[in-house]
Amino acid sequence: MDYLRIRQIKADFALLFVAFSWGLTFVVIQDALSDIGPYYFLTLRFSFALFFLALIYWRHFKYINTKTVKTGIFIGLILFGGYAFQTVGLKYTGPATAGFITGLAVVLVPIISALYLKKMPGPFVISGVACAALGLAFLTLKGGNYSLNYGDALIFLCAVCFASHIIAVGRYAGHYDPVLLAMLQIGVVALVSFIVALGTENMPSHFTRQVWIGFIVCSIPATSLAYLIQNSVQRYTSPTHTAIIFTMEPVFSAITAHLLAREFLNWQQAAGCMLILTGMLVAELKAAREETNTGQQA
């Protein structure tokens, strides 16, 4: 029991690093986008990430088959939607705000699952969603203007895609090589981003310091290592426990934005952030208790 507990704690800290790396990307991506188009940025970010993983796990390519490729393409397209909406949205909204709206994916997972299974979510999930929705209103409805701005709307669509991605990975990852599936997803994002970039953007003649920092932070820690860690250690903890840890991502994004003086939250926005976090935890902690009870009964 002690060994299993230590292993879970190590897994939790590893997943916390993933949440931290994702939270940090909001600021560096926003900086990089001043000197490069969002789709070329995604192309290079995911190409570097794929190259890094391929160098380490090239032996896994011998396990590739048609079903794995089809599944990887399907999940990769969903992942592309998430990153495309997020990266473009960061051109029009602040990193802290984007972090908290993206965090709504944690709450959207049980909602989308309920729609898919045609089963009403429980009262705690409904309460969590209502709390998070109220927080989203506090966070994004500024200056008496009761409508989402363009960037906020794109980030919300990003959250929908990321929630769908979590569900899709949970549905298919156990049936295929997880490392190979991760590389295929990353490759799809890189390829589709490149195709879109060719028709919409111009490649910059040189990369500025901000672009290089964005590549370094986003490609290796926040993409290659993040998905590698998640695929490796999530088996040692529950999906709900993982989701709770990932609620720290918007917290890290807000702290980073504040420390770098990129975005200061007023009392209304700060209250919105707290309501979103509360909604996430209400929905997920109840699910965690139900998982524990189910495990004890088994």
pLDDT tens-digit readout, 158-187: 999 988 888 887 778 778 888 888 899 999
Phi, psi of 33 (to 5 degrees): -70, -10
Give residue 103's pLDDT band: very low, low, confident or very high (50, 70, 90).
confident
Taking the C-alpha atoms of residue 139 and residue 148, their distance in angstroms, rounded to an integer, is 10
Phi, psi of 204 (to 5 degrees): -65, 150
CA 72-253-266 angle, to 5 degrees, is 140
Tens-digit pLDDT profile for residues 20-72 = 898 888 888 888 988 999 999 999 999 999 999 999 888 888 889 999 999 99
DSSP single-letter state for residue 147: S
The structure tokens listed for 178 are: 């997880």
The contacts of residue 286 (CB under 8 Å, 6+ apart) are 122, 124, 125, 128
Nearest alpha carbon to residue 15 among 254, 279, 247: 247
248-286 burial, b for 16+ CB within 10 Å, e for fewer? bbbbbbbbbbeeeeebebeeebeebbebbbbbbbbbbbb
